[in-house]
Amino acid sequence: MSRIGKLPIALEAGVRAVVKDGALSVVGPKGQLGLAVPAAITMQLEGSTLVVARRGDSKREKALHGLTRKLAANMVRGVSKGFTRTLEINGVGYRAEVKGNALSLSLGYSHPVVYQLPAGVAAKVERQVLITLEGADRQLLGNVAAEIRRLRPPEPYKGKGIKYAEEVIRRKAGKAAAGASAG
């Protein structure tokens, strides 16, 4: 049996889950999320825990078992506590600010880049260079963070650009440093 799939999902106080017609719906203080459960997977609500099981032992069913359980657990955590993702902006004159439901970024281009945030994702900017994204849907939050990072990915020489807070940029030596050591 799947090590991840066999673990029950504890529903915290204020979180309500409904399994109906091959779909899981989770409602909590941070919002509401839904998931289409594959036909090979069954879900039962036992008191305040959600149990995920598979019908057979094929390789595909084993893979779906752990995946579906983890997606459901992320939904439960998302509607109760939420998820955050932090981005850092490095570079002279690079900055960000929140304008309503949009993120205005100055990234060294001739014009400011305006990124429209989707529903379910909120942004806060600290010190004009730290962007904190918050939301209940982990997958949507990750996609938004990746799209913002893609606007100006960090370059390997000076590290200028947008990077994840925990990301480490491998730096390259410039032409002057490479020529001096080879001589």
Flag whether pLDDT at 152 surpasses 60.
yes
Alpha-carbon radius of gyration of the chain: 22
pLDDT given at position 123 = 96
* Residue 178: band (very low, low, confident or very high) from pLDDT cuts 50, 70, 90: low
> Which residues pair with residue 26 across a beta bridge?
17, 33
In the predicted model, is pLDDT for residue 84 greater than 80? yes
DSSP conformation class of 47: T
* Span 22-52, pLDDT tens digits: 899 999 999 999 999 999 999 999 989 999 9
* pTM for the predicted model, two decimal places: 0.87
**Cα gap 166→136, rounded to integer Å:** 20
Cβ atoms of 95 and 89 closer than 8 Å: yes
Q: Is 78 helix (H, G, I), strand (E, B) or coil?
A: helix
Residue 153: the pLDDT is: 94
